[in-house]
Amino acid sequence: MDLSQHPAVRRSVLGALQEDVGRGDVTTRVALEPGLQGSAVMLAEADCVVAGVFLVSLAYECCDPRLDVEVLVSDGAAVAPGTAVARMRGPVASVLTGERVALNFVQHLSGVATLTRQFVEAVHGTSAAIVDTRKTVPGLRLLEKHAVHLGGGMNHRFGLDDGILIKNTHVALGGGTAAVVARARREAPLGLRVQVECRSRAEVEAALAAGADAVLLDNQTVDEVRALVRLVAGRVPVEVSGGITLESVRGYAETGVDRISVGALTHSAPAVPLHLRVETVA
């Protein structure tokens, strides 16, 4: 089941159409002959990594199944301004009615992929992977994680059920690192790894002793991270997080960490500008 078949994605597209089209596109209905046929292209207006172009097909298919949508670039392609990413042929009224929804998906997801690519390039040559978080825009997690992947990032947990991340609060309320990790190994579904958040040498040592599969160093300086990476010494993957920016990311990457997780990839990526141009009308 690829993403374009996923029920959550289809609900998202339908929901977006309902919130935009509402009871109908009044302007287009009064302006255009219903039978008018033509074609249009969706164009990027900036350098970007395009993400989510299959949603153009999906949105227009929900809007009017008579429309023929041809996707012109592969999802994840880096394109220059002026590149046509999709072409629509069929009833022009429907092209105009679905335009905003199609654009809203692609401009947001391309924004996520493009920002991810910038982070990935900033750590080029180091051993660090760029990783996403659960700090996503409500309703769009599957799609945003897909965009991160297209931008060259790795996906962390998709939710609270496909990975175990024992944070400080869990340790504090659960009786200590050893006890919580042990319970996780005994009671959690068998397919899940156990990662433990650590903020000090002692916490890292406790996590390793308890049998953690990975550690997360949250809100540490570059120097602190470097020291803790040395302490772990490759026994388990080390991840860092906490307000890391395009400016600071390389410093962290050079400490030898395995992964750097960045909430901004999904919660603060600016939209990529795109627009639609009607080409021919017959």
- Which residues are part of the catalytic machinery? 100, 135, 167, 197, 218
Q: Which stretch binds its own copies (CB under 8 A): 11-19, 74-82, 116-124, 247-255?
A: 11-19
Give the Cα separation of 18 and 45 in Å (integer): 27
Per-residue mark of binding to its own copies, 250-279 (x: CB under 8 A): ---------x---xx--xx-xx-x----x-
Q: Which stretch binds its own copies (CB under 8 A): 79-87, 179-187, 198-206, 227-235?
A: 179-187
Q: Which residue has the tokens 């809203």?
A: 104
Shortest reach from residue 212's CB to its own copies, in Å: 12
Running DSSP on this structure, what letter comes out for residue 3? G
Q: Which residue has the tokens 């962390």?
A: 156
Say how many residues touch its own copies, by CB under 8 A: 103
Q: Taking CB under 8 A as the criterion, which residues in 66-85 touch its own copies? A: none
* Interaction of residue 116 with its own copies, rule CB under 8 A: no
- Inter-helix orientation angle 7-21/141-150, to 10°: 110
Q: Taking CB under 8 A as the criterion, which residues in 207-226 touch its own copies? A: 213-214
Write the secondary structure of 64-107 as one string of H (helix), E (strand) and C (coil).
CCCCEEEECCCCCCEECCCCEEEEEEEEHHHHHHHHHHHHHHHH
Q: Taking CB under 8 A as the criterion, which residues in 127-156 touch its own copies? A: 131, 134-142, 154-156
Q: Taking CB under 8 A as the criterion, which residues in 23-42 touch its own copies? A: 23-32, 34, 36
Running DSSP on this structure, what letter comes out for residue 5? G
Amino acid at 264: A
What radius of gyration, in Å, describes the C-alpha atoms of the chain? 23
Select the residue interacting with its own copies from 18, 200, 221, 280 (CB under 8 A): 18
Closest to its own copies by CB, 45 vs 70, is 45
| Nearest CA among 2, 271, 239, 50 for reference residue 132 | 239
Characterize 69-97 residue by residue with b for buried, 16 or more Cβ atoms within 10 angstroms of its Cβ, and e for exposed: bebbeebbbebeeebbbbbbbbbbbbbbb
* Interaction of residue 117 with its own copies, rule CB under 8 A: no
Q: Taking CB under 8 A as the criterion, which residues in 225-244 touch its own copies? A: 237, 243
* Interaction of residue 105 with its own copies, rule CB under 8 A: yes
Closest to its own copies by CB, 166 vs 232, is 166
